[in-house]
Amino acid sequence: MQKSLSVYDSDGSTFAPLVVIELVSETKEEAIAWLLNRVRDKQQDGGAELLVEQLTPGAQGTEKDNPNVYVVGASWQRLLYGAEDVGLFKEFNDGSMRGFTYANKHNFKEFQGDGDGFLSMAECQYIIKHELDNLRAKDEAHVPGYPKMKLYPGKSVIRRMQSKGILVQVFPLHEKEELKRLSFSWFKKIKLSFQPLDDIRHYFGEGMALYFGFLEYFTLALIPMALIGIPYYLFDWEDYDKFTVFAGFNLVWCTVILELWKRLSASLAYGWGTLSRKKAFEEPRPGFHGVLGVNPVTGRAEPLYSNAKRQLRIYLVSVPFVLLCLYLSLYVMMIYFDMEGWALMIHDEEPTFWTGLLLFIPSIIYAVVIEIMNLIYRYAAEFLTGWENHRLESTFQNHLVLKVLVFNFFNCFASLFYIAFVMQDMVLLRQSLATLLITSQILNQIMEAFLPYWLQRRRNKKAHKRMIKTMEDKELPLSEQVKLEADMSTYLGTFDDYLELFLLFGYVSLFSCVYPLAAVLVVLNNVTEVYSDAFKMCKVFKRPFSEPAANIGVWQLAFEAMSVIAVVTNCALIGMSPKVKSYFPESETQLILWVVGFEHFLLASKFILTFVIPDVPKHIQIKLSRLEFESLEALKKRKMLEASGIPKTAK
């Protein structure tokens, strides 16, 4: 907890500021007073029972500073009750992970004294966010001072004010000392070691820690392929008869690493208390709209939107739009092949060093165009998915992921499939794969490493130049810390990070047998990715709220789908090998049947392997089963006590 910085609440009590709420500067006084009262009110009165106070401008304050900035905290007892409300799991005295309860608090391993330090700052901030999100309208017809901003019983106050533009942002504060320690162990000191995943989880939450855990695991899993690829590249890469060995290794590799990752992520999630944690009931998204009705599950009033209308929007607008984008991508691909033919014609007419370089220009231009098209499509996909008006954030994300993955897969890999299986030109395939991979990595490094670093330096020089020394050497005043962090970029989640890893996994698993150095390049990219992403999280972005996660979610399915496509692709490449073709000199049909049969056998083996290798290690399964058994026994005992008329407190 951030004890060195504290503020006084209106009743005179001090509290550690954890979360910042910023309203627009022209917000009406009655709306501000109403919101603050609702935040402070007791839970039984429909409030959040949190501590909140207006941020006083520091010595460096100016008239342009927004006066409507508030810091939010909570009493320690309130946070412990909140930990029970959100279903936080903590280590019990017997070493198992159990749901925290306030009544049973002294039986938890790390709970000492009054519980100070039992909850991390990230957990405290997550609890406060949960309480703010669950602050609901009672009998108010509208936000005070804003007659057009309608409310109804059960509507989330924060979400309404956010969607209408009154609430600018809600973000958690950084903790300077802990951030400094994390930065030093994570990215400031370049060394060959594992990432401090427990520290990352402690500071940023489980969702972020699982992303960096997967990034590290994926990088380590690529090392065997990279070690095989280097000598293969040096000695055999021109012999296309021998790529069948590498393709066979790909088939096993892409299946095994994903199954082992599921076991590793289960172990991490159990140790962090999220594996058996119940998923919270999802509330409607801030952007969701519809006709006011009653939710049959909660009984609360909320907007309702016809599923039939949503399906019409999806199938009559979104699907045709995606197909149109795929057609445009195909059209651009054919232009690329025309450019390739033009460059090859010039080189054949006059084979010089410069015309040899010209052969790479079409691939480089195409790689840049692919990145631009992916970026434009991403914005269009977000707009369309928002327009489809999905009620839940998880549904919105699933539809967005599907749209983006389909287009990105087609846009990035269609040309490689065309070259491999229509043109059957392995030399061009190797050249195109190398150029696309290297160009996309260079562009990603510019966007993800150099650009954020430049923006951070520019921001410090422009807005806080006079305070850099103070920030490095001494405690920064709270008002200046809030001002500094409020101006930082907002982290939009791990979507783009996982998407990049998904495409890299595709390049390696689909066609690396033709270009064995692909795995080496991806390893180098991932190593720099760890440092650039760590730098961004600690120095460039606002601190994101902790998000509990037990796995990498829908991305696990995306990677597994790619591994299935990789099996089919590598089997087809093996079938195209001259050495394999020589076994079927008279019948191409027999060759096709053999390849299809072999591919079906491998797919069957792959699916059998998913059942043979348990997703959760045996020792964790035993612990979870024991906890479930004890819970059932406790429930049975309670029912027996209630039936016999003995009070619950009796032993």
Q: What is the pLDDT of residues 205-214, one digit of tens each?
A: 999 999 999 9
Same domain membership, residue 224 and residue 88 = no
Q: How confident is the model at residue 7 (pLDDT cuts 50, 70, 90)?
A: low
Same domain membership, residue 163 and residue 90 = yes
pLDDT of 250 strictly over 50 = yes
What integer pLDDT is reported at residue 216 of this predicted model?
94
- pLDDT (average), residues 58-84: 82
pLDDT of 33 strictly over 50 = yes
Is residue 519 domain-resident? yes
What integer pLDDT is reported at residue 280 of this predicted model?
66
Is residue 296 domain-resident? yes
- pLDDT (average), residues 73-101: 87
Identify which has the larger pLDDT, 269 or 238.
269
Q: How confident is the model at residue 473 (pLDDT cuts 50, 70, 90)?
A: very low
Mean pLDDT (the chain) is 84
Q: Running DSSP on this structure, what letter comes out for residue 92?
A: B
pLDDT of 173 strictly over 90 = yes
- pLDDT (average), residues 558-587: 85
Same domain membership, residue 201 and residue 53 = no
Helix (H) or strand (E) holding 405: helix 393-418
- Mean pLDDT check: name the lowest of 58-62, 194-198, 242-246, 401-405: 58-62
Identify which has the larger pLDDT, 172 or 455.
172
Neighbours of 221 (CB within 10 A): 20
Identify which has the larger pLDDT, 359 or 322.
322
User: How far apart, in whole angstroms, are the C-alpha atoms of residue 448 and residue 617?
Assistant: 36
Instruction: List Cβ<8 Å contacts ≥24 apart for 482-487.
Output: 482/20, 482/55, 482/69, 482/71, 482/173, 483/58, 483/65, 485/20, 485/171, 485/173, 485/174, 485/542, 485/543, 486/20, 486/22, 486/69, 486/169, 486/171, 486/542, 487/459, 487/463
Same domain membership, residue 122 and residue 218 = no
Same domain membership, residue 442 and residue 497 = yes
Same domain membership, residue 227 and residue 146 = no
Strongest mean pLDDT among 63-67, 190-194, 286-290, 371-375:
371-375
Same domain membership, residue 216 and residue 152 = no
Is residue 86 domain-resident? yes
Is residue 179 domain-resident? no
pLDDT of 577 strictly over 70 = yes
Q: Domain tally for the chain? A: 2
Same domain membership, residue 549 and residue 415 = yes
Same domain membership, residue 111 and residue 249 = no
Owning domain of residue 65: 7-173
Same domain membership, residue 104 and residue 220 = no
Identify which has the larger pLDDT, 303 or 429.
429
In the chain, pLDDT over 90 holds for what percent of residues?
Answer: 29
- Mean pLDDT check: name the lowest of 5-14, 140-149, 319-328: 5-14
What integer pLDDT is reported at residue 46 of this predicted model?
83
Is residue 358 domain-resident? no
DSSP string, 512-581: TTTSTTHHHHHHHHHHHHHHHHHHIIIIIBPPPPP---SS-THHHHHHHHHHHHHHHHHHHHHHHSHHHH
Neighbours of 566 (CB within 10 A): 23
Same domain membership, residue 99 and residue 153 = yes
Is residue 100 domain-resident? yes
Is residue 415 domain-resident? yes
Place of tokens 């400031």: 188
Question: What is the helix, strand, coil percentage profile of the chain, to 5?
Answer: 65, 10, 30
Same domain membership, residue 261 and residue 408 = yes
What integer pLDDT is reported at residue 470 of this predicted model?
44
26's tokens: 């022209």
- Mean pLDDT check: name the lowest of 321-330, 372-381, 595-604: 595-604
Is residue 403 domain-resident? yes
